[in-house]
Amino acid sequence: MGAGPNYVLDKGFQANEALTQYYLVKLVTASEGYVDQSDTTNEVCIGVTQEACTADDATSGKIVDVRIMGVSTCVASQAINLGELVRSSGAGKISGLAGAAKQKVLGIALTAAGVDGDQLDVLLTPLVEVDNS
């Protein structure tokens, strides 16, 4: 992990469901200003939660901080190399790019992850789609 905070741009969103800290979130298209945890591989994500939120908190209207630009801690679903481009892997975690075409790149790994569940620092970049086939 990198030393010290790396804040650039956090935005408050209302949690639509329970959220896990450092997991990817997506916009709820039916409700402006709400986020859900990412649940699909190669999904368009708005950012990374900076705090956890229980189901009760979400029902009570909790606003959570979401890092949408800058450096954030993320949770890996597999081994990720330093400098590797990353995407959503489902269940809120990130992975490196696969051989599939048209992948949505979320950022660049600034530290490495060895296994599923490891935390790593990621430079969040504006969402771009690359053809990795």
- The tens digit of pLDDT for each residue in 65-110 reads 999 999 999 999 999 999 999 999 989 999 999 776 788 999 999 9
Q: Is residue 1 predicted with pLDDT exceeding 70?
A: no
Query: Confidence band (pLDDT; 50, 70, 90) for 129?
Result: confident
Q: How far apart are CA 66 and CA 74, in angstroms?
A: 12
Q: Which helix (H) or strand (E) holds 58?
A: helix 55-59
Q: Is residue 116 predicted with pLDDT exceeding 60?
A: yes
- Check residue 6 and give its pLDDT: 64
Reading the block at residue 111, the tokens are 């530290």
Summarize the confidence of residues 8-17 as an average pLDDT: 95
- Check residue 4 and give its pLDDT: 63
Query: Confidence band (pLDDT; 50, 70, 90) for 127?
Result: confident
Q: Is residue 2 predicted with pLDDT exceeding 70?
A: no
Summarize the confidence of residues 46-70 as an average pLDDT: 96
Task: Output the CA torsion sign for 41, 42, 48, 54.
Answer: negative
Sorted by sequence, the CB contacts under 8 Å of residue 16 that are 6+ apart come out as: 28, 31, 34, 35, 36, 58
Q: How far apart are CA 83 and CA 21, in angstroms?
A: 23
- Check residue 5 and give its pLDDT: 63
**What predicted TM-score, i.e. pTM, was given to this entire model?**
0.90
Q: Which helix (H) or strand (E) holds 57?
A: helix 55-59
Nearest to 113 by CA among 69, 73, 66, 55: 73
Task: Output the CA torsion sign for 42, 89, 68, 11.
Answer: positive
